Every structure is written in C-alpha cells, then in structure tokens.
Amino acid sequence: MTLASATVQSGRHGPPGGPPRGPARNAGTWFLVLPALIPILVLSVGPLLYGIALAFTDSQSGRTRSTQWVGTLNFQDLLHDGLFWESFRIGLVWAVGVTVPQFVLALGLALLLNENLRMRWLARALAIIPWAMPEVVVGIMWRLVYNPDAGILNETLRDLGLGDGRDWLTGLATALPAVILVGVWAGMPQTTVALLAGLQNTPRELHEAAALDGAGAWRRFRTVTWPALKPVALSITALNFIWNFNSFALVYVLTNGGPGGRTRLPMLFAYEEAFRYGQFGYAAAMGCVMVAVISVILAVYLAGRLGGGDDR
Amino acid sequence: MSPRTSGTTRAGQYAALLCYLVFLAFPFLWLISTAFKPAPELGSLHPTWIPEHPTLDNFRQAFDEQPLLRAAANSLIAALSAGVIAVVIATPMAYVMARHRSRLSTAATGWVVVSQAFPFVLLIIPLFLVLKQLHLINTLWGLIMVYVVWALPFALWMLVGYVRAVPRELEEAAAVDGAGRLRTLVSVTAPLLAPGIVATALFAFITAWNEFFFALVLLKTPEKQTLPVVLTHFLGAEGASDLGPLAAAAFLATLPSLVLFAVIQRRITGGMLAGAVKS
C-alpha cells in the first residue's frame, strides 16, 4: 500500500494543519471518506437545498398539475399568517421556558454530583432515565402523571390540601407551563452530564488555592468554577435552545398542540401543514423562516456572550 | 470535592440531592406503578403508589390491542441496521477528520454543527418526495436510510473524539516499523478504537429505537410501523386512553434503550466530551 504509507509520512512530518501531499494522499483519503460523504450529500445536503427550493414553489401532495415556481409568495403569505406567528411565539416561550430552568437545575445537579456525596451514584443512574427514554414514552408517562383523576400529581395536591385536581394539559392557562415542565425534566440529564464533564476538567488545585486564600463557596464558584465552565455552558445552552425550539415528539404526545393551539410549536404547525393538508411548499417556507430566525437569535446571543466574555 | 465542607453545607447538599432524586424518579415510578394496576384501581379517584392487587393483565391486554411484537421487530431491524451502517461508513471518515486537517474535514465539521440546527421539516419534506419517487415510503429501508444520515453527525462527532484519543505516536511507531497505512489502521488503530466504535453504534441504535418524527411521516400502515409510532395508537381521541395497557406498553418500549444506555453511559459522556473539548 504505497499510497497509504505516503499519507502516514505526510502525517509524520507535517504539522497537523499541513497541506496534502500529491495525488496519492488524496486517493487514499477519498477512499476513506466517500462511504459517508455520498449519503451525506444525497440524503442530507441535497434534500436540504431541495427543501429550501421547495419553499419558492407551490408544491402540494397528491395533485396532478406540475409544481410551479411562485417566487416569494409563500413567504408573503407567511408574513400575514397570524397562526404561524402565534406558534412561533409559543415556540420561543417554550424554548426559553425549557432551556433556562433546565440549565439552572442541571448546573445545580452537576455541582452536587461533583461533590463527594453518598447518593451520588444513584443520582447519576437516575439522571440517565429521561435521556434514554423514547420521547414518546416520556410524553405518555407525564400524561399518566397529569391525569386529572388517576394521576399522581393531582392526588398529591389533594393530599396536601392544594386544590382538588384539574386537567393540567387541557387547561388554556396551564397547558404550556405543564408541557414546559416535562421539557425541563426530559432534557436535564444531557445538560447535567455536559456540565459535569466541564466541571471535572477544572483543576482542583485552583479550588484549593482559592480556599486557602479564604474564598467562600460563592466566590470560588464565581472566580474559579464558572470561568472554566463557561465555554461548555455556552455551547450546551445554545444547542439546547435550538433543539427545544425544533422539538416535536414530546408535545405531539402530550397535547398535540392543544388546547386551542396553546402548545402548538412551530414544528407541529409545519408538520400539520405538510402532512395533513399537503402544503409542502408552504411548510418548507415555514422551515426556512424557523432556520433564519433561529440563526439570527443565536448569532446575536453568541456575539454578545463571546464579545463581552472575559475568559480565553 | 471542595477542600473543606462544613456540616450544615453537607446537610443542605444532601437535602438538595434528595429533591433531585425525587424529581427525576417519580414520573418513572408512577409509570411502573400504573402498568401493574388492575382496572378498578386505575379508575379510582384516590390512586396509590403501590398497586394493592398487582397484575400482569395490562401487559396481556397491550399485546392484544396493538401489534407490539411486530412493532418491536420493526424497531429492532431499523435501529440495528442504522447503528451498524452508520458506524461502518462514519469510522473511516472520522479517522480522516481527526488526523488530517483539510478543507474537507472543516466542511464536514461545519455540516455536523449545522445539521443540529435544522428543523426536521425542512429535511423531511424533500426526503418524503424523493423516497416516494423511489417507492421507499412505508418501507423500513427508506426509514433506515434516513436514520443512517440522521445518526451520522453525532457518530462522526463521537468517533473523531475517540480517534484523537489514540496517540498518534503509536501509529507513527508502526509506520517506522515498516507497516503500511492500512496495516497500521487495522492492527494498531482499530483495536484501540473498538470500544468507542461499539459505544457509538449502540448510541445510534438507541436514538433510532427512540425516534418518532421520521417514522411517523414515513411509515403508514400498522404492520410497518415502529414501536414509538404504535405506542401513540394507545392514545385514544381526546385523551380517552386505556391507562393500564398504555403504561404497560410504554414501560416495555423503554427497557431495551434503558439497559443499553446503562451499559455505555460512561463511554457516551467520554466521547461527547472528547469531541467537544478538542474541536
């Protein structure tokens, strides 16, 4: 395998960022890369571009006429689609409402798990459960918890003398908060594990030095722990926000967007538009708007945090 | 471990940890409790934590009502194929991405990040149209193809981390000893990567086993559908669902991924971390 050993040599001499050396190196590399690259291009990049293109057409399911370009018509329609913007607003409330408490709770749990506590292994084991469960099962499980009569939540509230049971998931005012609580529960483990991993990268000596200097727990957290944790915290928060904004299965099972659209996240809206009403072009336009707005929000957020950041 | 921790702080920490334990555990315990309750207790206005007359009727009824075995078999085929194929095609690419910085690996890394941000509608509509042209709607093969590509970003992410964890010096030593690149890969790198590859495959398996949205869109008839889709058939119209069988089926559907996750949990967090820290 002369082609191959040429590559190893270039890897040995060159720095990690070294330029490729000649056609031999390229042939070996392509051989390794193509099995993954072809599916990525055919089934991911291609469809995404196709999807964006569809947003500018009147594509519909099951019709005989051929699809026409309609320019920005779908986007103009979307601009005036009050229901879509309402679902967009709900999506943002949901994404923030889940991401922020999720982060705070996960940080607390990660700090606890980083201590030398006795029940630590149990907490770690339990924290896996929501992560490993199918979202559909998480939704079903919480429907059982929220059940007005036979659910444990209302029974506990009755026992504590706090009202006598309501249907949390179908109440106009309670549905969104109830769904958000499930979102927080379901996503906490992943965030905890990421933060815990970040915490375990913080050098212990720094903590000890700070403690010797007489720094209290809060000051140690602010001056030692947080700066080290910040990059991990920032990226996990940004990812959580996007994932939450784009989520589907949990709310589909819990409320299917009800009552009266109060929990209809953008993905549920777009799904209905595409696969119930067959409006592919219009739904694709929704997808494009979702991507665009999310990117802008994230860019602003990341620029603000990184620009004002004092670490690194 | 903080350098010194006072008794009251410790007590507070244990109290907080206990709250977390309760919060994390109670819905799951309630699911189990519901699954083993006989019908009269499920109708009771004052439900109890422990079933007074535990029964397996709900499980029997669940299998009677929906084609659970068929659905589990479909899920197994889809998840297993997705896990194996994803890893087989991702490992060589991850190796290139980890070892050689080029425009291609930069683009691939960019794709991994960007693909996390896309709402799946934007992907599923064109995929639906393409798979329809290929007559792959309502087939497991169509779903498997989608799952493979869907699993690739994090498979690459994890595998790149595992490759970087293999010291380059080992490969260089083998090269000095006269081993070609392929031999180096097969006899030096692959054995060290094996545990990471298995963990990645299992993780891809779990996510495919749990996946719902693509399966909902692509699979139309009950005998083709995967477990998560079939589970939603237990949810009757307007919440009129049969709680016992619903809980029983949901509980069963969770077991495989729960067991696998417990096995590979350390490796996943390790892999995520390796990918995240070094990039």
Q: For B154-177, write each residue's pLDDT tens digit.
A: 899 889 988 988 888 888 888 888
Grouping H, G, I as helix, E, B as strand and the rest as coil, residue A19 is: coil
Q: Are the CB atoms for B192 and B40 separated by under 8 Å?
A: no
Distance, in Å, from the CA atom of A189 to the CA atom of B198, rounded to the nearest integer, reads 22
Residue A4 has pLDDT above 80, yes or no: no
Of A149, A193, A246, the CB nearest to B119: A246
CA distances in angstroms from B96 to A20, A26, B79, B86, listed in the order given: 12, 11, 26, 16
Rg of chain A in Å (alpha carbons): 25
Residue A6 pLDDT level (bands cut at 50, 70, 90): very low
Structure tokens at B221: 């008839």
The per-residue pLDDT for A22 is 47
Question: Could you tell me if B168 lies within 8 Å of chain A, comparing CB atoms?
Answer: yes
- Rounded to whole angstroms, how far apart are CA atoms A280 and A62? 10
**Helical packing angle, A46-54 and A280-307, nearest 10°:** 110
Q: Which pair of tokens denotes residue A229?
A: 């944790």
Q: How many CA atoms lie within 13 A of B41 on its CB side?
A: 19
pLDDT reported for residue A14:
38
User: B residues 210-229 near A, CB within 8 Å?
Assistant: 210-213, 216-217, 227-228
| Closest Cα in chain A, distance from residue B42 (Å) | 6
Q: Which residue is listed with tokens 């939704």?
A: A139
**Hey, what are B82's tokens?**
């997705």
Q: Are B161 and B123 in contact (CB under 8 A)?
A: no
Cα–Cα distance, A14 to B124 (Å, whole number)? 42
Find chain B residues with C-beta within 8 A of A295's C-beta. Answer: 117
User: Residues of B with CB below 8 A from A140's CB?
Assistant: 31, 231, 234-235, 246-247, 250
CB contact under 8 A, A40 and B111: yes
Can you give the pLDDT at residue A107? 95
pLDDT tens-digit map of B74-109: 999 999 999 999 999 999 999 988 888 778 888 888
Confidence of residue A306 (pLDDT cuts 50, 70, 90): low
Of the pLDDT bands very low, low, confident and very high (cuts 50, 70, 90), residue A25 is low
The pLDDT score that the predictor gives to residue B217 is: 95
Tally C-beta pairs within 8 A across A and B.
Answer: 318
* A7/chain B closest Cα distance in angstroms: 7
Distance (Å) from the C-alpha of residue B50 to the closest C-alpha of chain A?
A: 11
B236 CB-side CA count, 13 A: 8
Q: Is the pLDDT of residue B72 over 60?
A: yes
CB contact B103 to A (< 8 Å): no
Cβ–Cβ below 8 Å for A119 and B17: yes
Within 8 A of A158 by CB-CB distance, chain B residues are 46
What does the alpha-carbon distance between residue A29 and residue A140 come to, in Å, rounded to a whole number? 47
Classify burial at B278, counting beta carbons within 10 Å of its beta carbon; exposed 0-12, middle 13-18, buried 19 or more: exposed
Q: In this complex, which of A134, A232, A290 lies closest to B257 when CB atoms are compared?
A: A134
| A60 φ, ψ (degrees, to nearest 5) | -135, 160
pLDDT, one tens digit per residue, over A67-113 is 889 989 999 999 999 999 999 999 999 999 999 999 999 999 999 98
**Residue of chain B whose alpha carbon sits nearest to that of A187:** B24
Give the integer Cα–Cα distance in Å for B195 and B163: 11
Give the minimum alpha-carbon distance from B211 to chain A in angstroms, rounded to a whole number: 7
> Does B127 reach chain A within 8 Å, measured CB to CB?
yes
Tell me whether residues B126 and A51 touch, CB distance under 8 A. Answer: yes
* A68-77, A99-108, A148-157, B195-204 — most confident range: A99-108
Nearest residue of chain A to residue B173 (CA atoms): A12
Euclidean distance between the first and the last CA atom of chain A, given in angstroms as a whole number: 44
> Are B104 and A33 inside 8 Å of each other by CB?
yes
A7 contacts chain B (CB < 8 A) = yes
pLDDT value of position B103: 83
Chain B interface includes A292 (CB < 8 A): no
3-state secondary structure of B94: helix
Query: What is the phi/psi pair of residue A69, to 5°?
Result: -75, 135
User: Which of A2, A3, A7, A8 would best serve as a mutation to test chain B binding (most B beta carbons within 10 A)?
Assistant: A8
Given a cut of 50, is residue B4 above it in pLDDT?
yes
Q: Is there a contact between A12 and B175 if contact means CB atoms under 8 Å apart?
A: yes
Is there a contact between B28 and A141 if contact means CB atoms under 8 Å apart?
yes
B2's tokens: 């903080």
Distance from CA of A164 to the nearest CA of B (A): 11
- Quote the CA–CA distance of A181 and B196 in Å, as a whole number: 34
Buried b (16+ CB within 10 A) or exposed e, A199-208: beebeeeebe
- Is the minimum CB–CB distance between B156 and chain A shorter than 8 Å? yes
Q: Tell me which amino acid residue A111 is.
A: L
Contact A150, B47 (CB under 8 A): yes
- CA distances B180 to A12, A232, B95, B192, Å, are 13, 39, 16, 18
CA distances from A165 to A146, A150, A162, B115, B253 (A): 9, 10, 9, 43, 29
Task: Tally the C-alpha atoms within 13 A of residue B272's C-alpha that lie toward its C-beta.
Answer: 18
pLDDT at residue B269, rounded to an integer? 62
Closest alpha carbon to A267 in A253, A281, A246: A246
Check: CB of residue B196 under 8 Å from CB of residue B159: yes
Instruction: Tell me which of A22 and B188 has the higher pLDDT.
Output: B188
Residue B26 is encoded by which pair of tokens?
């109670």
Give B2 to chain A, closest Cα distance, Å.
7
Helix-, strand-, coil-residue percentages of chain A, each rounded to 5: 70, 0, 25
Mean pLDDT calculated for residue range A294-299: 82
Among the listed residues B172, B93, B278, the one whose alpha carbon sits nearest the alpha carbon of residue A11: B172
